[in-house]
Every structure is written in structure tokens, then in C-alpha cells.
Structure 1
Amino acid sequence: MSRDGQERPARADVVASLDAVIDRTLRDSELVHEHPTPGRWLVDLPGTKKLKTVCGLIVGEHALRVEAFVCRQPDENREQLWTYLLQHNARMYGVAYSVDRVGDVYLTGRLPHAAVTPEELDRVLGAVLSYADDHFNTMLEIGFGTSIRREWEWRVKRGESLRNLEAFAAFAQAGSRRDDGDGGGAPAGGGDSPDGGA
């Protein structure tokens, strides 16, 4: 590590060796990727709830840094979202949720050079995709619930398409029923709470 806390770049021979492993792994997995400079990779991980997660792989002096943007800083319920993410961190493999200075959410991790094998890299990229995708809708409901419900109601009133909001139908409709004065109870059928039970 340098004095400013940034990891120094690896030696050229180490970069070349790890780049060869990364290149082979990504090609074998048929993942879309970019390799802008030696030791730096951008990998597109296709999902279902979050359509694409871009994962950066950076070869440092002692480790391969893994970093993927998950979502921007929440509009509301920041502490509730941080609690939700921290509760998941204890059970995660290879990466953990983190936030930057402005509150944007990332998945970050480090692999020692000796651990960078095709099998381990595939496992870590799979973990990044799973954690970014599996919890994405719940994270949006916690951090952007008011905006989601407002957008849903606006589209319903105007007869606009709800197609790209279909995943939030139960959440949005439960909110509008509470707003209509139904006593604030859960919708019929007892849907999950927006925080996923965290």
C-alpha cells in the first residue's frame, strides 16, 4: 500500500500472468468484457432483476480488486438499507456490500494473486452477479419506495405502460391501498414487507 492508502500496481510480469488467467476465464464463460489497459478489466454480468452489472477487475500489487456498482445512493431509509446490506455481508462469499463517500452501493472484494484461478474467478463473478441481482428489487423498495409508488400511481392515472415496473406491482399497490385509508394493514394475501424481513 502507498501512503495515501491506494494499492500500488503489480509488477509487469505479475500483471501479464493474471491477465492471461482472466482473459481465458472470461472467454470460456463467454462474458462480454473490455480490457482497456494491462491489469484492468470491465466485465458485463447479465441479470434478471438488475439487467446488467458491470464488474471491474483491477490487478494490484498484492491482490486482484473486484468492484461492481449496484445502485446509487438511496433517496430515503438509508439506515434501514445499510442494516439490510450489513446483515447479508456476514453470509456472503468473496465480496461484500460497501458504500462510497456519497452513499452509492457497491460490491467489493480482494483476491490474493495466488487465488486467481479460473475456478475461483468464475465463483467470485457468480457471487457478484447473485448478490447484485437477487437483492436488487428489495434494495430499491427500501431506498426508493416513495419514488416507485409515485411513478406507479402517475402511470396508472395516465394509462401509461407499467411493464418495466411489474416487479414492484404488489409493493406499489400495497402502498396505494394504505394511502386510500384501508387501515394500513398488509394487502390481502399478506405480501412480504418492503425490507425483505430485515
Structure 2
Amino acid sequence: MTGGAGGDPPPRADVVAALDAVIDRTLRDAELVHEHPAPGRWLVDLPGSKKLKTVCGLIVGEHALRVEAFVCRQPDENREQLWTYLLQHNARMYGVAYSVDRVGDVYLTGRVPHAAVTPEELDRLLGAVLSYADDHFNTMLEIGFGSSIRREWEWRVKRGESLRNLEAFAAFAQAGRTGPDDGDGAAPAPDGGG
């Protein structure tokens, strides 16, 4: 898949140098934190609001620039529901699509022909990666990790721990509550007492 790996011939050095120059200029102009570990390989930090940071890889291959970003690990539950959610979004997405690896971790992946790699197109693609990773992140967690979120919420409430980093899931976590202190499925008393 990447240039030089899996049987693909490596890209020509002049192609890599030309694309590296475009990528470098684009990332510097956008003031994005990035690493350049090897010719034709870039790691870009995309700051979000729901998913605090998405790391996006840019890899120059023989014919195209590959874009790849990890979104979330394999879901604990509701895999089919999560895959359905992601596939329904793929049809409306620009430049990248949701994909899963062998273990079920979720990525955004795409390929751009060398001739289309311009500062404007890179900016558009990085914006798309950030938008898709960030905008859908909480919903993906609710679908794939809902039971864990609710357990963590309940544990913190019982212990009086901070809920600050779970605030985005308040309505979701509380919607499944059975009662103030019990998890036995009993409904709370009508007067709110327990």
C-alpha cells in the first residue's frame, strides 16, 4: 500500500522532493504541528474539539499521496451498528472514507493523485479529515462504547469524582440510568426518592 512496501515500487526521488516541498509549505502556512520522519512521510496533528487531536499521515506513493488518520479503536459493542453508521456517511464524504483494519480499528483513508496535490487541495483534505474525525467522534463512542461510558459515569458519580472530561456524554450517560444508586433495573420511585 505505501510506496516501497507490499511490492509497490517506491516513488521517484524527484517526485517525493516536489511533493514534500508542497506539503511542507502547506503545513507551515497553516501553522500545523507536524513531523517529517522520512522523505515522503508526514505526520500532522489536527486539533479538534470533541476528539482533541487527530494525527493524520501523509505518505507519498508511486502514483498517489495516501492520507490516513486513526479515528478510534475497535468498538467494544454494536460493531454492525457502528459500521452501518460509518458506511452511510462514506457516500457524502470528500477525499477520504471511513475504513477498518484487521482488528476493527476505525480510520479515515484516501488517495490523491500526485497531480492534484496542491496547497489548496491539501488544506481541503486535512479539513475534511478533521471534520469527519471530530464531528462524528462522540456518536461513534456512544455506539461502540456506550456501556463503558455509562459505567464510568456511574462510578464517578458514586465516588464523587470529576465528570469534566465526560460532560459531552451527560445526556447519553444519564438516559440509561435506572436509579440513583442501583443498577438492578428497578425504576426510581415516582417522587424521585430512592
TM-score by length of 2: 0.89
Cα distance, 1:8 vs structure 2: 2.9
Deviations 1:45-86 (CA, angstroms, capped at 9, x unpaired): 000000000000000000000000000000000000000000
Q: How many aligned residue pairs are there?
A: 191
Task: Give the aligned CA root-mean-square deviation in angstroms.
Answer: 5.6
SS at match of 1:179: coil
Cα distance, 1:9 vs structure 2: 2.0
Gaps spanning 5+ residues in structure 2: where? none
1:1-198 equivalences in 2 (<5 Å): 7-175=8-176, 176=178
Is residue 99–residue 105 contact of structure 1 (8 Å, CA) maintained in 2?
yes
Once residues 122 and 187 of structure 1 are traced to their aligned partners in structure 2, the CA distance between those partners, rounded to angstroms, is 52
Deviations 1:129-185 (CA, angstroms, capped at 9, x unpaired): 000000000000000000000000000000000000000000000014699799x99
Deviations 1:7-64 (CA, angstroms, capped at 9, x unpaired): 4321000000000000000000000000000000000000000000000000000000
Q: 50-59 or 5-14, which moves further after superposition?
A: 5-14
CA gap of 1:167–1:75, structure 2 versus 1, over 3 A, is: same
Gaps spanning 5+ residues in structure 1: where? 189-193
CA gap of 1:36–1:141, structure 2 versus 1, over 3 A, is: same
Once residues 70 and 41 of structure 1 are traced to their aligned partners in structure 2, the CA distance between those partners, rounded to angstroms, is 17
Once residues 191 and 86 of structure 2 are traced to their aligned partners in structure 1, the CA distance between those partners, rounded to angstroms, is 11
Once residues 134 and 173 of structure 1 are traced to their aligned partners in structure 2, the CA distance between those partners, rounded to angstroms, is 22
CA gap of 1:92–1:158, structure 2 versus 1, over 3 A, is: same
Q: Which has the larger radius of gyration?
A: 2
Is residue 179–residue 187 contact of structure 2 (8 Å, CA) maintained in 1?
no
Deviations 1:112-131 (CA, angstroms, capped at 9, x unpaired): 00000000000000000000
Once residues 192 and 127 of structure 2 are traced to their aligned partners in structure 1, the CA distance between those partners, rounded to angstroms, is 22
Deviations 1:76-117 (CA, angstroms, capped at 9, x unpaired): 000000000000000000000000000000000000000000
CA gap of 1:12–1:77, structure 2 versus 1, over 3 A, is: same
Is residue 22–residue 118 contact of structure 2 (8 Å, CA) maintained in 1?
yes
CA gap of 1:187–1:92, structure 2 versus 1, over 3 A, is: farther
CA gap of 1:69–1:196, structure 2 versus 1, over 3 A, is: farther
Q: 4-13 or 81-90, which moves further after superposition?
A: 4-13
Once residues 49 and 187 of structure 2 are traced to their aligned partners in structure 1, the CA distance between those partners, rounded to angstroms, is 27
CA gap of 1:178–1:110, structure 2 versus 1, over 3 A, is: farther
SS at match of 1:195: coil
CA gap of 1:197–1:59, structure 2 versus 1, over 3 A, is: farther
User: What's the counterpart of residue 191 of structure 1?
Assistant: none
Once residues 52 and 113 of structure 2 are traced to their aligned partners in structure 1, the CA distance between those partners, rounded to angstroms, is 29
Is residue 53–residue 70 contact of structure 1 (8 Å, CA) maintained in 2?
yes
Is residue 97–residue 109 contact of structure 2 (8 Å, CA) maintained in 1?
yes
Once residues 134 and 38 of structure 1 are traced to their aligned partners in structure 2, the CA distance between those partners, rounded to angstroms, is 31
Once residues 191 and 53 of structure 2 are traced to their aligned partners in structure 1, the CA distance between those partners, rounded to angstroms, is 23
